[in-house]
A and B are shown apart, each in its own frame.
Chain A
Amino acid sequence: MKVPTEISQQTVPKGKLSPRNRKKAIWAYVFLMPQIIVFFGLSAYPIIMSYVYSFYDWSGIGPLNRFIGLDNYRQLLTSDRFWQSFINSIYYVAGTTVISVGFALILAIILNDQKLRGKTLYRTVYFLPVVTTTAVIGIVMNNIFGLNGLFNDLMTTFGILSQPVSWLTDGVLAMILLIVIGSWKGLGINMVYWLAGLQSIPNDLYESAQLDGAGFWKTLFHITLPLLKPILSVILLLSIVGGINAFDLVKTLTNGGPYYQTETLDLFIYNYAFSSEFSGGQTRMGYASAAGVLLGLFTFFISILFSIGAFSKEIRQFRLNRKKARIGK
């Protein structure tokens, strides 16, 4: 029997759930519980603890008994190696974002053509690097671009290079190589995002434009690109955050070398948290945690900037509504 809304609102005190809804809520929590436990155990707790560790001189072994306040942060902010890795991360992010997002858009536009034959095959081929393990790509590329690798062999065989090039032991070339391979790796996923955006544009608009005599370029600049703006923010944000967290490719392709010239922030953190005993150093979990906190804050700051950019229209609308409401009062 359906209970009239008015009656039900009278019988159930304000702010309290009805017995039926309470049961529903309890069940919801029961099913959410495993995920909540996993989240707090494997995400929230380590994040909180990394903030705690960052205030200690702690190797990762034993009790936290050497509180040093902000010393780790002070040392980081005056460390040439930290800033070098920060700048390397910026280079990597900028390079991969520009190349990967740009090329992915071109690819998506081409592959979105309804008349193109075999586009499923092309999409699959371009998406393959995305589903390939990054570490494997790093190791394979390390072999391909080594001094005695396949790339140099081909280049010298065809006379394009007079002698083999040290792609991995020259700081600038190694960084370029990292960016190119990182971009290639992310190309497929960005292409899929762009395709999703392109397919959300109504066909009517294109048909109208065609009737008005607009060609490909006019359609592209006046319809396609303006309507893709919202998704551009999302793609840029995902690409930038992904780039900031570059670790596996860097570790396996250059290992940060030569002499830290391709060491990104993630690798910097790893090296301090789990440095090998062969280097004669000891692990510095506190210091690495401080670097992790700074990296987290930087990522958060970037995300906020993008959110403001992406939702500026909504923010403006919200402020306008609030103003109207005040005037109404």
Chain B
Amino acid sequence: MKKQAKWGLSLFGIGLFALTACSGEDAGTSEDGEVTLTLWNRYPELRVPFDELIANFEEEHPGIKIEKQDLPLGSHEAQFQTALSENQLPDLFTTAADLRELVDVGAVHSLNEVFTDDVKEQFYEGTWGENFTELDGDVYVFPFVSPQSGAFILYYNEDVFDQLGLTEEDVPETWEEFQEIGSYIYEESDGAIHALSWNNEAWSNEGVMNQMATAISPDTAWRHDFKVGLPSYATPGLIETAEYLKTLFDDGVMTPNSMEVDTAAAEASFIAGQSAFWISGNWTGTQLVQSNGFENWGVAPMPTKDGNPYYYPAGRQVDGMHVNANTENWEEAKTFLEYSLDHLHEELYVKTGTAIPAKMDVGGEAPYPQYEDIKQLQEELAITIPKPEQRNLETIEFQRDVSSRREFTGVGEPVVGYLSGAIPDIEAQLKEMDATAVEIFETTLEDHPDVSLDDFIFPNWEPFTPYTLDDYEELE
């Protein structure tokens, strides 16, 4: 019987072991003293460049090994949330999670030791900001990309241009010109080529809508009017832009399957020469050249209603790297960050042409000539705008509260619905959203005594003029 009991207990132990064997195992120090750091990368475009950076780092620091894991873009939040709740975060990670939340739960390590005042000065204006890369003046993010990034621009296929006898001079600047060239391209190619590749992804439609609309309604920057301080979903700019896009779709200026395909498929259609134009951000250049070997293209600003300028709120989203607050290898992580300060921006961004790095005067040469054109366009179009959280930290919590009470996020989804015919009247839809957003905003203000409408009003802000720290001080 004792023997049987032993067997039973052994089996039970094996069962328990099997159950726990799946749980994560901390990377750490091996017997020979080598320290392994874990790194989670959520950027698909950085997968290969990161490998090279890590290989060079390991060669220079033989005692430190870095294990990189690439996360799937579409579902990395779930993995991140699980790891956070299980206290299984890697030593280094990239995430889009709200910085305030990460700091509140003690998930991120302060990087003040690495980013001294001297180091911070080496970065572009606008890199350091509250709930962006810093919180309460402490740095928590190793910034990758310049805040002057993210603006949507017009990519044109020069092969198609050559085929149809078009030149750089023919790149449209106004909506009307775009429709004209669209008709010309379609007729000239006997219906084989459309003017514009489009897609059904909300984030992409959101970007195009909000930026194109600023040429008509500049006071509203990304669904918020900083002159009156309230959410703004139904500006003339947004309504007219949506109606214009619908016209392009209905008239066959866009590829007919636009509402069926994602950004990758739409981009592939542009590369294949099935369309002459593609609207996207600064990250597209490297994808065209590095991933697809397509080099014959150019860039220009997106066409706007009357050819007026448009802008993108610079630094709307931070791209960078955090260090786990609970890492057992802070010194090694710091070593990697210090190495990255000298090499990361050049290796990951300049040499690949992926984006404009956050650090100024970085060496290296871009792999394609259009990189400089893209950089120049980003510097013109990505302009810093007021940030309520810079003025009052309490607005972070307030805005989170507003988001959680609001069922919708932006205008990207409704526009897709409008183009595909699910929403018959976009103006009515946007006005309804606008009324709801304002009502929620005002109701939430009542629950936040530390926040007022004044925190969202910036009378000294002029659209198209960068809003600087001096401007915030002027308001005080």
**Interface of A toward B, CB cutoff 8 Å:** 23, 27, 30-31, 33-34, 37-38, 41, 57, 59-63, 75, 79, 81, 146-148, 164, 166, 168-171, 257-261, 273-285, 287
**B378-403 CB contacts (< 8 Å) to partner A:** 400-401, 403
- Judged by a CB distance under 8 angstroms, whether B147 is at the interface is no
Instruction: Contact check, A274 vs B105: say whether CB atoms are below 8 A apart.
Output: no
The answer to whether B101 and A259 touch across the interface, beta carbons within 8 angstroms, is: no
| A–B pairs, 22, beta carbons within 8 Å | A30-B9, A34-B15, A34-B19, A57-B404, A61-B101, A147-B260, A168-B259, A171-B422, A257-B420, A258-B416, A258-B420, A258-B422, A259-B423, A260-B413, A274-B75, A276-B74, A277-B96, A278-B203, A280-B412, A282-B400, A283-B81, A284-B404
Q: How far apart sit A325 and B107, CA to CA, in the bound complex (Å)?
A: 65
Q: Are A277 and B77 in contact (CB under 8 A)?
A: yes
- Decide if A169 touches B259 in the complex (CB within 8 Å): yes
Q: Shortest beta-carbon distance, B466 to chain A, in Å?
A: 23
In the assembled complex, which residues on chain B have CB atoms less than 8 Å from the CB atom of A59? Answer: 98, 101, 400, 404
| A75, B405: Cα distance in complex, Å | 8
B468 part of interface (Cβ distance < 8 Å): no
| Least CB separation from B73: chain A residue | A276
Tell me, yes or no, whether B8 is within 8 Å of chain A by CB. Answer: yes
Known: A31-B11, A260-B413, A275-B409. 7 other contacts (CB 8 A): A63-B105, A257-B416, A258-B421, A259-B416, A276-B77, A277-B96, A280-B409
B81, B260, B401: the one within 8 Å of A60 (CB):
B81
Bound: A166/B260 CA distance, A: 9
Given contacts A148-B257, A257-B420, A282-B404, contact A276 B203 (CB under 8 A): yes
A76's closest neighbor in chain B, by CB?
B407
Closest Cβ neighbor of B420 among chain A residues = A258
Q: Are A285 and B81 in contact (CB under 8 A)?
A: yes
B99-127 vs A, CB cutoff 8 Å, 1 = contact: the mask equals: 00110110100000000000000000000
Q: A34 contacts B74, CB within 8 Å?
A: no
- A259 and B421 CA atoms in complex are apart in Å by 9
Q: Please measure, in the bound complex, the distance between the C-alpha atom of A169 and the C-alpha atom of B206, giving whole angstroms.
A: 19
* Per-residue contact bits, chain B 282-321, to A (CB 8 Å; 1 contact, 0 not): 0000000000000000000000000000000000010000
Interface residues in B188-225 by Cβ distance below 8 A to A read 200-204, 206
Give the residue name and chain of the A residue nearest to B95 (CB).
Answer: A277
**A168-B260 in contact (CB<8A):** yes
Structural contact, A259 and B422, CB atoms closer than 8 A:
yes
Contacts of A276 in B (CB 8 A): 74, 77, 203
**Which residues from A are CB-within-8-Å of B475?**
none
Which residues of B (238-268) have their CB < 8 Å from a CB of A?
256-257, 259-260
Compute how far the CA of A278 lies from the CA of B280 in the bound complex, rounded to whole angstroms: 14
B420 close to A169 (CB less than 8 A):
yes
A279 touches B421 (CB 8 A): no
Q: Tell me whether B206 and A258 are in contact (CB under 8 A).
A: no
When C-beta atoms are compared, the residue in chain B nearest to A167 turns out to be B260
Q: How distant is the Cα of A279 from the Cα of B401 in the complex, in angstroms?
A: 17
CA distance A295 to B301 in the complex (A): 47
Find out whether the CB atom of B105 lies under 8 angstroms from the CB atom of A62.
yes
Q: A37-B16, A258-B422 are in contact. Are A281 and B409 (CB under 8 A)?
A: yes
The residue that B98 contacts in the complex, of A37, A257, A282, A285, with Cβ under 8 A, is A282
A147 and B257 contact, CB distance less than 8 A: yes
What chain A residues lie within 8 Å of B75 (beta carbons)?
274
Whether A147 contacts B16 by the Cβ 8 Å rule is: no
Contacting pair B201 A278 (CB below 8 A): yes
- Which residues on B are within 8 Å of A, measured CB to CB? 1, 4, 8-9, 11-12, 15-16, 18-19, 74-75, 77-78, 81, 84-85, 96-98, 101-102, 104-105, 107, 200-204, 206, 256-257, 259-260, 317, 400-401, 403-405, 407, 409-410, 412-414, 416-417, 420-423
- Of A62, A148, A274, most buried by chain B (CB within 10 Å of CB) is A62
B200 partner residues in chain A, CB cutoff 8 A: 169, 257-258
- Within the complex, the shortest CB–CB distance from A324 to chain B, in Å, comes to 47
How far, in Å, is A266 (CB) from chain B's closest CB? 15
Q: Which of B404, B412, B422 contacts A261 (CB 8 A)?
A: B422
**CB-contact partner of B203 in A34, A279, A285, under 8 A:** A279
Q: How far is the CA of A38 from the CA of B203 in the complex (A)?
A: 39
B407 touches A75 (CB 8 A): yes
Interchain CA distance A260-B401 in the complex, whole Å: 24
7 tightest A-B CB contacts, nearest first: A259-B417, A278-B203, A34-B15, A277-B96, A281-B409, A258-B420, A62-B105
Partner of B404, one of A168, A273, A287: A287
Nearest CB on B from A119, distance (A): 40
Point out the residues of chain B lying under 8 angstroms from A278, CB to CB.
Answer: 201-204, 206
Smallest Cβ-Cβ distance to B8: which chain A residue: A30
Q: In whole angstroms, what is the CA distance A283 to B422 when docked?
A: 25
User: Could you say which of A23, A75, A259, A275 contacts B414, with CB atoms under 8 Å apart?
Assistant: A259
Contact partner of A166 among B12, B259, B416, CB < 8 A?
Answer: B259
Q: A146-B257, A284-B404 are in contact. Are A30 and B11 (CB under 8 A)?
A: yes
Closest Cβ–Cβ distance, residue A164 to chain B (whole Å):
8
A contact residues around B74 at 8 Å (CB):
276
State whether A259 touches B413 (Cβ < 8 A).
yes
- Which residues in B have their C-beta under 8 angstroms from that of A275? 77, 409
Q: Report the minimal beta-carbon distance from A36 to chain B, rounded to whole angstroms.
A: 10
Contact status B260-A61, CB under 8 Å: no
Inter-chain contact A281/B8, CB cutoff 8 Å: no
Q: In the assembled complex, how far is the CB of residue B322 from the closest CB belonging to chain A, in whole angstroms?
A: 13
A169 to B405, CA, bound (A): 29
A57: chain B residues at CB < 8 Å are 401, 404
The distance in angstroms between the C-alpha atoms of A260 and B408, with both chains bound, is 12
